[in-house]
Amino acid sequence: MRQVEPSVELLAKPNIDWEAMRTYLDEVGGTSWADRVEEAESPDAEDLLEFSGRMCYRSWEPGLNPNVSRVRTDSAQYLGNVVKSQHGSVLEHANFTFVLHNVSRVLTHELIRHRAGSAFSQESLRYVRLSDIPFWFPEWAREDPELMERSLKVLDTLEEHQKWMAEHFELDEEGTKFSHKKHMTSFMRRFAPEGLATGIVYTANLRSLRHVIEMRTAKGAEEEIRLIFNKIGEVMREEAPAVFADYEVVDGEWIPGTR
**Quick check: 243 pLDDT over 90?**
yes
Reported pTM: 0.94
Q: How confident is the model at residue 259 (pLDDT cuts 50, 70, 90)?
A: confident
Spatial separation of the C-alpha atoms in residues 59 and 55, rounded to whole Å: 7
Distances (CA, A) of 252 to 176, 219, 230: 50, 8, 7
| Among candidate residues 105, 107, 108, 83, the one with its CA nearest the CA of residue 94 | 83
Domain ranges for the chain: 14-90, 126-191
pLDDT (tens digit, 9 = 90+) per residue, 76-108? 999 999 999 888 999 999 999 999 999 999 999
- pLDDT tens, 126-136? 999 999 999 99
User: What is the spatial distance between Cα 89 and Cα 71, in angstroms, rounded to a whole number?
Assistant: 20
Q: For residues 28 and 69, is the Cβ–Cβ distance under 8 A?
A: no
Over residues 102-125, the mean pLDDT reads: 96
15, burial (CB in 10 Å: exposed 0-12, middle 13-18, buried 19+) = exposed
